[in-house]
Structure 1
Amino acid sequence: MKKLVIISEGKNTGTRLFNQLNYLIGKPIEIENILVSQLKNINII
């Protein structure tokens, strides 16, 4: 299964994108919504 990560500044923006993409894709895909403020806790290489 593929995974799509949405990084947004506000929870509402990410939620809207999440809902729209789920509707458009219509296939099983894991979508994760991450807020920019949470990126401080994630190591990105």
Structure 2
Amino acid sequence: RMEIEVLISTENDKDFENNMATIRAEERLAFAIYRDEAFVTGPLVTP
């Protein structure tokens, strides 16, 4: 896992000339499944 990361830049393409800023936010999360019946098992048959 990774903490949230927020980056702000004015050096993207013409952001500096247009008095703009680019903001990027990124976070990695985990998704837990606590129900055994949520998983389906069996043979995989392709057509």
Higher strand share: 2
TM-score normalised according to structure 1 size: 0.22
Higher helix share: 1
Higher relative contact order (CA 8 A, sep 6+): 1
TM-score normalised according to structure 2 size: 0.21
Between structure 1 and structure 2, the one with the greater Rg is: 2
